[in-house]
Amino acid sequence: QVQLVESGGGLVQAGGSLRLSCAASRSIFSINAMGWYRQAPGKQRELVASVTSGGSTNYADSVKGRFTISRDIAKNTVYLQMNSLKPEDTAVYSCYAVVSLVIWGQGTQVTVSS
């Protein structure tokens, strides 16, 4: 099975940027879909962005125009570029991959200060 390791979280001021990385333990070329969820304290988990094996992308309305998901097949990595960050983007961001089941990374904290 594939394993996922996230990196790139941290503390940033409102209006700033962060790039999250999700490195897979094997080729992501044939993985059906990968993406990012987030969960803030006291809130439901929210799908932030996803990308299919065909390259189609999908975004939550709350991040459209600010976040971009991309894949680097050669590096077995999916990225989430987050620009114009807002305090309400503060959450634990978790990467996932859909293979025969859903595989999750360990999560990375993103904190946006006002």
Q: What is the pLDDT of residue 30?
A: 86
Provide mean pLDDT across the span 96-105. 94
pLDDT tens for residues 73-88?
Answer: 999 999 999 999 999 9
Question: Phi/psi class of residue 49: alpha, beta or left (left: φ > 0; alpha: ψ in -120 to 50)?
Answer: beta
DSSP structure string for 16-49: --EEEEEEESS--TT-SEEEEEEE-TTS--EEEE
CA 111 to chain centre: 14
What DSSP letter does each residue of 47-98 carry, written as one string? EEEEEETT--EEE-TTTTTTEEEEEEGGGTEEEEEE-S--GGG-EEEEEEEE
Q: Work out the percent of the chain whose per-residue pLDDT is above 90.
A: 96
Q: Could you report the per-residue pLDDT of 31-61, keeping only the tens digit for each? A: 999 999 999 999 999 999 999 999 999 999 9
**Looking at residues 95-107, what average pLDDT do you find?**
94
Q: Is the pLDDT of residue 1 over 90?
A: no
What pLDDT sits at residue 103?
Answer: 95
Average pLDDT over residues 25-36: 93
Q: Is the pLDDT of residue 5 over 90?
A: yes
